[in-house]
Structure 1
């Protein structure tokens, strides 16, 4: 009966895909089951990342092997330290925990091709004297995050091609092609639009092809491997006619990612749109596209604040766009986007109450509300108490004169006896900007006698 019954190594997944990237921590456990007391010389678990290529060429009667290898990292953790005195394990199941932090340096994604591979692996190894080593391993799927200028890869690509036809055909062909972006995750769809002006005497068929190009490098030699991932054809375009063709090019779910940060293996993708013309050189345009991990694709897209909001090209400040009191509306605003705002309710005398905190400095536009006013003014005029009116201008009002007192020496009424004048309702001209009157002070207006001195003293001087 063998002394070792089983040896397994497992790790805890960080996400649904079970993938790891630069800087992630791998945690797991190694389980060893022994049937009888076992003397162990050393017992450790390690994680490593390697790239290797190998292919053979024939020259005459001789075969030449070209190979290369790159090691990105190797980390080891001893579960039982190596020593001159062996450690005896009792029968039973022994569980050991481990933890590794992957280096944060740029490393390529996992890959497996015809002539090379990039492999990341966990391995547990048990060594005994005069016995064959017992090993167990577990492959790790590694997705690189080293894609510089990721946001720019989400912008569309445009290319134009003009070609004169000759010999068997005459005329000119004009083709303008647009691809919605550069980077895609496996399972996504590339949208390709081609506007074709066939001002020639030949018929032609528009076609699109997504291809993969792999280059293996070793000992100064290279090995190229090209394959077609997806291809589609459009309807025939007759002579002297125009047509717009649209394709939805599907990226396979398990497609290998783009690899540009490995010295011995590179993986690239190209999207070629061309016109198939009989007895002529096909005019074509080629776009470089990238396959990136799904986590990077979702993180690089602009966030959407709600079901009725547009993307990052909104006319609203990000802080204002996230305010909870904005709601979608069928009415349109600049940029063909829908917005609507319900004005808050304030008392008739805003200056006699403390104002709320300062409003967001982002520009705010009051949307048109047909139930309150027939005008699209920023401040709606209505008899409803919920309508926001413009602030009063202190210099535009004359407060009412106080009641005449027959005794000049009588003290004037305190300022609190004269309430602040209420603001009239009016619609300001469009060129006037809205004033943030909520930030005004809540102090009462000054006494009338301080602004306009009493004329009683003047009359008494004239009488004398």
Structure 2
């Protein structure tokens, strides 16, 4: 609009220019005018949304499927009148005169992203997840003046179970063109990995069959859109790798390093209408028969955003003391209890071979010769509700559990909680090019804002 311009700028909080739950978003809305105007309302809002939409052909008719999910919406008013005032989503702050003179005016704002579990930013062919700052200036009998900008949001890890090693077992009796049997045990060091990280898989294979067998590895990505009782799914393999043959009559323990791509899309877990999941499959290639396989769900996190502790390498989950045990007194919390730490039950999949899938839980104890304690002895609260109560068997394609309650996790600065600004809260009046200069990213986030009498 000639003579009028509106823009939004925000202050980055890290080198990657990303935000997560609990972070503060500080910035300013800049309004440039060449003449005086009278505003009915002027505000900036921060919101997070997911949207899905696609069209299918049914019986010579097009049917459109769509869905929307909102995570939060926060508003900060600079100018408000009548029905624009109030509301649970409106932050408290300074309000200014609805008569705005010509010049360049800077209005500062500060939001804190809620602590709930939310999915990362994402854009796909049939849906997207966006986090946006939007500003709007409304005037009577005039088109509103608007501006917007997107934030890159990343999901913070939501459970200690992400660092628990996963183990599985598969057995198969041969028939037809192959005789004998084969058994395999495999484990991964943990469930969650960063982009570009190495996935260490250890497998012990006992080949009692009449054929040499090759061990294979594959990582599959599965993307699913959900709307109006229907879904649209696509999947593809990120990589496939083949190991050396295991001769007949031999037992071998094999450790394999699998490199995750640095640009692979992070997992989408906490979204009801868009799901992006990964499964790592370790299997033996049996000619002319079904393959014994172990399937592990993997969670992929943004590279370098939220470091996870990694257990020392060892066969089948024997890690360093304490890395997979109960949190110490100075650990950040709250943590899931015993029933949540188990993550996955031990189902027996139907079919020609058995497939057991359990986390490896082997913390060190003072008496190494004593028998290992039971699970209930390690964690005395087995009756607490499980974090993932409806988990399907691990061989089922495409699943990711949805945690029921948000947790708190240490800030990347290691303090154990999100910092609270200590500078006195204030909200200065708009700056003009002829008066006060625009300040350089002051280190404060007023909460609550003091009330200022409109000019």
Single out whichever of 12-21 and 77-86 deviates more from structure 2.
77-86
Match of residue 394 from structure 1: none
TM-score (norm 1): 0.60
> Which one of the candidate residues 286, 291, 300 is aligned to 2:295?
286
Contact conserved, 2:157 with 2:306, CA < 8 A, in 1? no
Asked whether the equivalents of residues 230 and 249 of structure 1 are also in contact (C-alpha less than 8 Å), the reply is: no
Q: Rg bigger for which structure?
A: 1
Aligned to 1:261: 270
- Report the Cα offset of residue 278 of structure 1: 2.6
| Structure 2 equivalent of residue 95 of structure 1 | 106
Aligned: 1:2 with 2:2: yes
Cα distance change of structure 1 residues 131 and 203 upon mapping to structure 2, 3 Å threshold: farther
**Correspondence for 2:168:** 159
Aligned residue number for residue 127 of structure 1: 138
Provide, for residues 209-251 of structure 1, a one-character-per-residue CA deviation record: whole Å limited to 9, x for no partner.
1112233221122222222223222123344444443322223
Residues 301 and 243 of structure 1, relative CA distance in 2, 3 Å threshold: closer
**What is the alpha-carbon distance in structure 1 between the residues aligned to residue 249 and residue 320 of structure 2?**
40
Query: CA separation in 1, counterparts of 2:309 and 2:23?
Result: 19
Q: C-alpha separation between the residues in 1 aligned to 2:248 and 2:320?
A: 41
State the 1:27 CA deviation.
Answer: 0.9
Larger RCO (CA under 8 A, 6+ residues apart): 2
Q: 3-state DSSP class of the match of 1:120? A: strand
Listed one character per residue, the Cα deviations across residues 8-49 of structure 1 (whole Å, up to 9, x for unaligned) are 212122233322222222111112223444444432111111
User: Aligned to 1:235, what secondary structure does the other structure show?
Assistant: strand
What is the match of residue 250 of structure 1?
259
- In the TM superposition, what whole-angstrom CA distance separates every residue of 1:51-91 from its partner, at most 9, and x where no partner exists? 11112222120111111111121111122335799944333
Residue 30 of structure 1: aligned partner: 29
- SS of the residue aligned with 2:28? strand
1:274-328 Cα distance to aligned partner (Å, 9 max, x none): 122332212211011212355774255589xxxxxx95449xxx99xxxxxxxxx
CA distance in structure 2 between the partners assigned to 1:218 and 1:30 by the alignment: 36
Compute the displacement of 1:172 (Å). Answer: 1.5
Question: Closer, same or farther in 2 for the Cα pair 1:146/1:242, shift >3 Å?
Answer: closer
SS of structure 2 residue aligned to 1:153: helix
Structure ranking higher in helix proportion: 1
Q: Could you say what secondary structure the match of 1:298 adopts? A: coil
Contact 1:206-1:235 within 8 A present in 2 as well: yes
* Structure 2 contact 189–311 (Cα < 8 Å) conserved: no
SS in 1 for 2:270: coil
Please name the residue that 2:90 is paired with.
none
SS of the counterpart of 1:272? strand
1:149-187 CA-partner distances (Å, limit 9, x unpaired): x2x321222212111222122222222212111111222
**Residues of 1 paired with 2:67 and 2:322: CA distance?**
48
User: Is contact 1:41-1:83 (8 Å) kept?
Assistant: no
Distance 1:244 1:218 in 2: 45
SS in 1 for 2:15: coil
Q: Which runs of at least 4 in structure 1 moved beyond 6 Å after TM superposition?
A: 83-86
Cα distance in 1 for partners of 2:190, 2:18 equals 25
DSSP 3-state at the match of 1:252: coil
Q: Which runs of 5+ in 2 are unaligned?
A: 84-95, 313-318, 330-364, 367-455
User: What is the match of residue 114 of structure 1?
Assistant: 125
For 1:266 and 1:214, the matched residues in 2 are separated by 6
Gaps spanning 5+ residues in structure 1: where? Answer: 304-309, 320-333, 336-464
State how 1:405-424 maps to structure 2 within 5 Å: none
Does residue 178 in structure 1 map to residue 187 in structure 2?
yes
CA distance change for structure 1 residues 270 and 87 in 2, over 3 Å: closer, same or farther?
same
| Structure 2 residue matching 1:278: 3-state secondary structure | coil
The answer to whether the 8 A contact 2:168-2:294 is kept is yes
- 1:105 is aligned to 2:116: yes
Query: What corresponds to 1:390 in structure 2?
Result: none
Across the aligned residues of Structure 1 and Structure 2, the Cα RMSD in angstroms comes to 3.2
Match of 1:62 in 2: 61
- Measure, in 2, the Cα distance between the counterparts of 1:312 and 1:35: 68
